[in-house]
Amino acid sequence: MTRFTKMHGLGNDFVVLDSVRQSLELAPAQIRALADRHFGIGCDQVLVVEPPRRPGADFFYRIFNADGSESGQCGNGARCFARFVRDQGLTDKERLTVDTRDGTLELAFLPDGQVRVDMGAPRLEPREIPFIAAARAGVYVLPLATETLAIGAVSLGNPHAVTLVEDVDSAPVAELGPQVARHPDFPEGVNVGFLQVLAADLVRLRVFERGVGETLACGSGACAAVVCARLWGLLDERVQVELPGGTLTIEWAGGTAPVWMTGPAVRVFEGEIAL
């Protein structure tokens, strides 16, 4: 039997597995089975916590989408990872350095129980996202089946496309989300954010996630949306991002400064499952 913890960050939910004290190597079919909401535990992502792979790092953590694909970044997952390693007694540190497949995160526990994460500097060059474009631009015009869509594109360790909408409640997330997420100009797929700007320090966001579908919140998507809208001149340095599952605080000073994300991480229940 394999021990697991069910967690969530603003309703973006996770099955978290300890691969420090138990040895785990999961096949994509096993990830899909764990994530299945009818026949498994159910989650948007499976997070696997591993020992560090280099001196200076506290842990390595891997992120798998519900469809079994692997990603290099998960903002809500990073906060849940931090709470998990503390709750499980794997560390008593107040600050953590954790490596993922595609980068390094710095995390700190705040006195109010929230977790603050240094998500690293945004990567805007098309080849870093990766995104097929002639040159870097603030806005790209993406051809879709029946229309074109104006998007910003950025990597926070995983690829994001962000488009502005007038009203996030009626945004065509279900229609356009899958088309953009699997667009051939994003060779590794992309997470798709639909962003409504209410004020220079307040936005609303829905995200159609690569490998999952629409989720109640996406931490890296919130960071990507703020980066794009800051580059479009629409936002201040510190922004409240309202997602269907709750609110994140995102800060970005611009340029090569890191993006900071602050929000909650909640343990729901623990159990054992046969893999």
218, 228, 231, 239: which one binds ligand LBFN2T5F (CB under 6 A) = 218
Mutual angle of helices 219-231 and 75-87, in 10-degree steps: 140
5, 71, 196, 262: which one binds ligand LBFN2T5F (CB under 6 A) = 71
Q: Which is nearer to ligand LBFN2T5F, 2 or 158 (CB)?
A: 158
Per-residue buried b or exposed e for 94-105, using 16+ beta carbons within 10 Å of the residue's own CB: eebbbbbebbeb
Which secondary-structure segment (H or E) carries 165?
Answer: none
For residue 11, say whether it is annotated as part of any ligand binding site: no
For residue 40, say whether it is annotated as part of any ligand binding site: no
The Cα 1–Cα 133 span in angstroms is: 47
For residue 220, say whether it is annotated as part of any ligand binding site: yes
Q: Which is nearer to ligand LBFN2T5F, 5 or 220 (CB)?
A: 220
For residue 120, say whether it is annotated as part of any ligand binding site: no
81, 82, 115, 132, 147 from 264: Cα distances, Å: 11, 11, 6, 35, 38
The Cα 235–Cα 11 span in angstroms is: 25
5, 45, 100, 262: which one binds ligand LBFN2T5F (CB under 6 A) = 45
2, 65, 163, 262: which one binds ligand LBFN2T5F (CB under 6 A) = 65
Q: φ, ψ for residue 205 (rounded to 5)?
A: -145, 135
Q: How many alpha carbons lie under 13 Å from residue 67 in its C-beta half-sphere? A: 8
Task: Retrieve residue 244's tokens.
Answer: 């269907």
The Cα 43–Cα 4 span in angstroms is: 12
**8 A C-beta contact, residue 141 and residue 180:** no
DSSP 123: B
DSSP 138: S
Show the binding pattern over residues 107-146: x = contacts ligand LBFN2T5F (CB under 6 A), - = does not: ----------------------------------------
Catalytic residue status for 218: yes
For residue 76, say whether it is annotated as part of any ligand binding site: yes
For residue 12, say whether it is annotated as part of any ligand binding site: yes
For residue 1, the minimal CB distance to ligand LBFN2T5F (Å) is 27
- Segment near ligand LBFN2T5F (CB under 6 A); pick from 71-79, 99-107, 133-141, 267-275: 71-79
For residue 55, the minimal CB distance to ligand LBFN2T5F (Å) is 27
Task: Restricting to residues 181-210, name those near ligand LBFN2T5F by CB under 6 A.
Answer: 191, 209-210
Task: Retrieve residue 261's tokens.
Answer: 């994300």
29, 30, 269 from 274: Cα distances, Å: 14, 10, 17
The residues annotated as belonging to the active site are: 74, 218
For the annotated binding site for substrate, the residues are 12, 45, 65, 75-76, 158, 191, 209-210, 219-220
**Which residues form the interface with ligand LBFN2T5F (CB under 6 A)?**
12, 45, 63, 65, 71, 73-77, 158, 191, 209-212, 215, 218-221
